Amino acid sequence: MHTWSLVSICVLLGVVVRWGVSLNSYSGAGKPPMFGDYEAQRHWQEVTYNLPLQEWYFNTTDNDLNYWGLDYPPLTAYHSWLCGYIAKNLNPEWVELHKSRGYEGPMHKLFMRTTVLIADVLIFIPAVVLYCLYLTDGSSKKRVSTLLCILLYPGLILIDHGHFQYNGVSLGFTLWGVLGLGLGWDAMGSMAFSLALNYKQMELYHALPFFCYLLGKCLKAGLAGRGLFLLVRIGATVVVTFALCWLPFLSDPSQAVQVIRRIFPVARGLFEDKVANTWCSLNTLIKIRSILSGDSQLYLSFAFTLLAVLPSSVRLLTRPTFWHFKLALVNSSLAFFLFSYQVHEKSILLATLPVCLLLSDLPFMSIWFLQASTFSMLPLFLKDGLLMPYVVTSVAFLFLTVYLLSALDHCSEDELRLSNYNKLFFFLPRLELACIVRWKFYISIAAMAGFSILSVVVDPPPHLPDLFPVLVSTTAFLHFLGTFVHFNIVQFSGPTSRKSHKKNN
């Protein structure tokens, strides 16, 4: 009973912080003609409610795809329709066809913010609670502390409840999938992840670990017996889930083809804004987009993404344990973020979810990465007028997580999983790696704070208008690349706790 009382307090605090952030500005506020992501979500409600389903993804006189055309899978469209239906009953002006473009008002903002909070309360937060209580190691106090830290991760809160998006829906479904697999309910986990994929196509970042883990379990059980039955059951679950989500579009093949074209816009180029991945960072030295053709850029990113994700995936396939599954989720999502095509800065949230799942096992490295991930989106927060929420939530998260999870007390070489580095670099003098990593952490935090302050108080030189966004993205890229290398090395070593040994399912 005492544990559930603490859980209730943590959930309440998570809701209060989300609502507090939502009182601030949002993407594109008062910035016609395109406004921002807030208007995109509102416009999808307008389109899905007023137009027949056959026109949702097509360019028509009533649906100008150049004005925030729907470019997410069907489950997002259905969610937009539901919100549009409720909005129509509350105030028809909010979703009136054509005339509601750019609609801004306090009551509408209240409605939109509430829809995001309700989605979190119904989907994301319950999954976090159950994961922390049933699939994390340690005492009840440690589990509740991990729960609070995940719920207060600032990156997701600032994007969904500040900038304005519904990432908590897709990430929540993914976490339900992780929960299902961790508890041995593979069909339920497969269905939940299929829903995540049908809500946001970027969930492909997590698809290979789910596939390799489940296939590895089937192979381990034997395809001549129980493994075959498990494979058929999982396959049937995935096919039925996808079929139900796409059913309205399957009667006409052109409908399904158009949806696929919209959700995979390869014509948009290798990257757009300043994003902390390999191609954007490398582009400051080598103008890749000028040297290579569009097709060459696509093939290059595909090849590098595949090479980056293969070691982790093969390792998981041959050792399908829950511990390796969690690490593979981190490594796969980071491989996609660092090397894949047309990555947005907000896509780092796909890597932060699995890192949050490792807060209990590897607190120091996880906190470091999560702090860097929030910092990487600083230019976006400044553009949206979210400086104060960014500062408050980031500082609070850093001190809270370090204190609650005793991160600085778990910095030995074994706890940081650094012993393999000495084996890799056996030809070099043995170094005090734990001490070096700890000092790198302090320097890193100071650098992120320094660049945050400079981005606000100093005007860039006229000939380098993007100086600070480039510095932020490059600094974050180095953090992400280091995390990617480290967690790959960790995956090729043993588990960190007795509970990790048990999660072989």
Q: Give the integer Cα–Cα distance in Å for 253 and 403.
A: 55
Does residue 357 contact residue 252 with C-beta atoms inside 8 Å?
no
Q: Give the integer Cα–Cα distance in Å for 22 and 36.
A: 16
Closest CA to 178 of 410, 6, 333: 333
What is the residue-level pLDDT of the chain in tens, covering all 505 positions?
588 999 999 999 999 999 999 999 999 999 999 999 999 999 999 999 999 999 999 999 999 999 999 999 999 999 999 999 999 999 999 999 999 999 999 999 999 999 999 999 999 999 999 999 999 988 999 999 999 999 999 999 999 999 999 999 999 999 999 999 999 999 999 999 999 999 999 999 999 999 999 999 999 988 888 999 999 999 999 999 999 999 999 988 999 999 999 998 776 778 777 899 999 998 888 888 888 887 888 899 999 999 999 999 999 999 999 999 999 999 999 999 999 988 889 999 999 999 999 999 999 999 999 999 999 999 999 999 999 999 999 999 999 999 999 998 878 888 888 877 766 666 656 668 888 899 999 999 999 999 999 999 999 999 999 999 999 999 999 999 999 999 999 998 865 544 444 444 4
Closest CA to 125 of 1, 8, 2, 207: 8
- What is the amino acid identity at position 329? L
Does residue 91 contact residue 55 with C-beta atoms inside 8 Å?
no
- What does pTM read for this prediction? 0.94
**Predicted pLDDT at 504:** 44
Distances in Å between the alpha carbon of 190 and those of 187, 212, 332?
Answer: 5, 12, 18
- 164 class by beta-carbon count within 10 Å (0-12 exposed, 13-18 middle, 19+ buried): buried
The tokens describing 217, both together, are 């379990």
- What is the amino acid identity at position 268? R
Does residue 200 contact residue 209 with C-beta atoms inside 8 Å?
no
Three-state secondary structure of 196-241? HHHHCHHHHHHHHHHHHHHHHHHHHHCCCCHHHHHHHHHHHHHHHH
Place of tokens 């991945």: 277
Q: Give the integer Cα–Cα distance in Å for 487 and 469.
A: 27
Give yes or no for a cis peptide into 33 (omega within 30° of 0). yes
Q: Give the integer Cα–Cα distance in Å for 137 and 322.
A: 13
Domain ranges of the chain: 2-29+104-502
Q: Give the integer Cα–Cα distance in Å for 273 and 343.
A: 9
Does residue 156 contact residue 352 with C-beta atoms inside 8 Å?
yes
